[in-house]
Amino acid sequence: MTAMPQAPARRVHHREGFQEWRSGSGPSSVRPTFAIAILLISIAILATAAPASAQDRTQTRSMVISRGGIVAAESPLAAQAGAAILARGGNAVDAAVAANAAMGVVEPMMNGIGGDLFAIVYEAKSGKLYGLNASGWAPAGLSLKFLKSKGITEMPQSGILAITVPGAVDGWSKLLARFGTKQFSEVLAPAIYYAREGFPVPEWDAAYWDDSVKLLQRDKNAAATFLPGGRAPRVGELFRNPDLARSLELIAAGGRDAYYRGSIAKSIAAYSAKIGGPMTAADLAEYSSEWVEPISTTYRGWTVYEIPPNGQGIATLEMLNILEGFSLAKYGHNSADALHAMIEAKKLAYADMYRYVGDPKFSEIPVEGLASKDYAAARAKLIDMAKANCNVPPGEPALPAKGDTTYLTVVDADGNMVSLIQSNYSAFGSGLVADGTGFALQNRGGLFKLDPQSPDALAGHKRPLHTIIPGFMTNGHERIAFGIMGGFNQAQAHAQFVSNVVDFGLNIQEAMEAARFTKRTFAGCDVDMEDRIPAAVRDNLAARGHQIILHGAYSATMGGGQAVERNADTGVNFGASDPRKDGEAIPEAAPTRAQP
């Protein structure tokens, strides 16, 4: 608790009585009278100003709380675009598409219409959850044989051979067709405006942009689009993208076919052919995103949902199942024991995810086995609380019987909720921009493996193991849509967020802000950690064998996230935005209609 102010002992006043008491001069009967009076005044002021507990809180900002809708996104401009759609009568899906389209303009290195999308939608009227997998597939001509013929022995991480068909626009189309109330022309209007008229570049994005200069310089179109004047735009500089504005206008007028069958598809296919790539017009025309059933587990009374493979969300569920065997709340938040258990659970779950997850159309994936409580209990026995394991192999779950990234989330006034994540994979993806399109094509194909025995082995029209995952959790009348970005950081960050809420009773803003760890590798004992985790805790972990790589207080290495919560009993909504990003949670504006 913040120390009680000692005003009489510290302040020098010119009034005689106070000066006498402070210096110890004057009649003895005067000193106690003034002391007691000032002490009582101080107590009254503190009691009036705020509850004592409010003096101690560690979160940097308050939750946004409203009976209207809330949009939480990485950019205030994008969140505002979604909130404006809500204010004009749109629902959570309409707002999510509007915010996502705007994000692709104002944060082009992380996401855009050259990337993929996943979403979980909660429909209030039916009480049902719907999952959408809008991740793209490899071109039909991109195969192990094709790469071998070119002497390539490792999957390229950039360039034309890392490109998969972008799924975002088809995902928007599926979302709007099933749940939306607005047309493309309305929800894309804010994005078109910012692309054509420009926007001032924010702080985090300026840094990301500058880190990508060398990649963008490799491609003439990318440099012309994203390096005006031959350099990355700086903080506060206005950036315009007229080519992207035209691409969005084509989609606004012609829908998803303008992208996958029209001039945009032709431009992508022509550029691929020009630089020796296998992407064709047919690869784009034949693509379709898919509705999927979310997978789930229970965690101490809550139900946590993820999208099924080809995503990494199964690792979140396995982590949580493993952690149920440990008394995290008893250990204490971000204590050495709690963090050790989480880090070791991460290693076990990720070893399984990396071994078994791929495109379920091409491989038999033991989803039920990986999500099994019994399997998790067996894996949990491998955790030694006194020592870090630096070499964790995958387990053998039961097989079924035969038979860089942006996250945003929306809740509307009716209780509909959207958890949506969208990405180019790496910053500016492949580093390639097709002629006249204004957006970077993703490099998601870089996640394929060239081992023909792997479930994630490269094949034409196959989806790779995917890192981006939206999350959702429920407990009675409480519903939370959440997500945290950052490649393979995501599943472990989801588990930490869930634990913060469930085990330690943090509100969604506190849970999002809380100091995190991330282990970016699959082998070894290295682990990244924010310096807000106390030195004594870090020393304890190091003594157990963890090799800690220390980062700043709110490190981008840990990813950034957003969350919204709905209390179905009261109809009140809550929004949270991570200080590790430039974003904000913005509420729907109050109606402005004149009163009768």
Structure tokens at 504: 């330690």
**pLDDT of residue 106 exceeding 70:** yes
Q: Which residues contact 380 (CB under 8 A, 6 or more apart)?
A: 322, 325, 326, 345, 348
Helix (H) or strand (E) segment spanning residue 421: strand 417-423
Give the residue from 396, 306, 398, 417 showing the smallest Cα distance to 352.
396
Residues 279-291, mean pLDDT to the nearest whole number: 97
Q: Rounded distance, CA 555 to CA 170, Å?
A: 33
Using the 8-state DSSP alphabet, how is residue 294 labeled? P
Q: Rounded distance, CA 421 to CA 116, Å?
A: 8
pLDDT tens, position by position, 126-149: 999 999 999 999 999 999 999 999
pLDDT tens, position by position, 17-54: 323 223 333 333 334 444 444 444 444 444 444 444 55
Q: Is residue 247 part of a domain?
A: no
With tokens 């401009």, the residue in question is 77
Using the 8-state DSSP alphabet, how is residue 262 labeled? S
Using the 8-state DSSP alphabet, how is residue 311 labeled? B
Q: Is the separation of the CB atoms in 301 and 502 below 8 Å?
A: yes
**pLDDT of residue 15 exceeding 90:** no
Q: Sort 146 into a burial class: Cβ within 10 Å, 0-12 / 13-18 / 19+.
A: middle
Q: Is residue 133 part of a domain?
A: no
Q: Rounded distance, CA 201 to CA 204, Å?
A: 9
- Could you give the angle at the alpha carbon of 581 between the alpha carbons of 584 and 576, nearest 5°? 40
Residues 532-536, mean pLDDT to the nearest whole number: 97
Range of the domain at 28: 7-55
Helix (H) or strand (E) segment spanning residue 375: helix 373-380
With tokens 């913040």, the residue in question is 2
Q: Is residue 536 part of a domain?
A: no
Q: Can you spell out the DSSP letters for 423-458? A: E-SSTTTTS---TTT-SPPP-GGGG-BS-TTSTTB-
Q: Rounded distance, CA 246 to CA 310, Å?
A: 32
- Average pLDDT over the chain, rounded to whole? 89
**pLDDT of residue 478 exceeding 60:** yes
Phi, psi for 235 (deg, rounded to 5): -55, 125
Give CA separation, 425 vs 62, 480, 486, 540, in Å.
31, 25, 9, 35
Which residues have a catalytic role annotated? 405
Q: Rounded distance, CA 570 to CA 159, Å?
A: 51
Secondary-structure breakdown of the chain: helix, strand, coil percentages, each rounded to the nearest 5: 40, 15, 45
Phi, psi for 593 (deg, rounded to 5): -65, 140
Q: Is residue 15 part of a domain?
A: yes
What are the residues facing 407 on neighbouring strands? 421
Which percentage of the chain shows pLDDT scores above 70?
Answer: 89
Longest dimension (CA), the chain: 100
Q: Is residue 523 part of a domain?
A: no
- 8-17, 188-197, 335-344, 550-559: least confidently modelled range: 8-17
Whole-prediction pTM:
0.88
Q: Is residue 20 part of a domain?
A: yes
pLDDT of the residue at 116: 96
**pLDDT of residue 498 exceeding 90:** yes
Q: Which residues contact 297 (CB under 8 A, 6 or more apart)?
A: 303, 304, 317, 320, 321, 371, 373
Q: Which residues contact 217 (CB under 8 A, 6 or more apart)?
A: 223, 227
Residues 421-433, mean pLDDT to the nearest whole number: 94
pLDDT of the residue at 363: 86
Domain count, the chain: 1
pLDDT of the residue at 400: 61
pLDDT tens, position by position, 568-595: 999 999 999 999 998 999 999 987 655 4
pLDDT of the residue at 404: 61
Q: Which residues contact 521 (CB under 8 A, 6 or more apart)?
A: none
**pLDDT of residue 3 exceeding 70:** no
At 399, is the pLDDT very low, low, confident or very high (cuts 50, 70, 90)?
low
Q: Is the separation of the CB atoms in 350 and 524 below 8 Å?
A: no
Burial 70-99 (b: 16+ CB within 10 A, else e): bbbbbbbbbbbbbbbbbbeebbbbbbbbbb
pLDDT of the residue at 10: 29
Q: Is residue 11 part of a domain?
A: yes
Q: Rounded distance, CA 123 to CA 389, Å?
A: 43
Give the residue from 493, 490, 446 showing the smallest Cα distance to 136.
446
Neighbours of 477 (CB within 10 A): 10
Helix (H) or strand (E) segment spanning residue 309: none
Using the 8-state DSSP alphabet, how is residue 513 labeled? H
Q: Is residue 190 part of a domain?
A: no
CA 322 to chain centre: 23
Q: Is the separation of the CB atoms in 302 and 498 below 8 Å?
A: yes
pLDDT of the residue at 31: 40
Give the residue from 161, 73, 55, 142 showing the smallest Cα distance to 431.
161
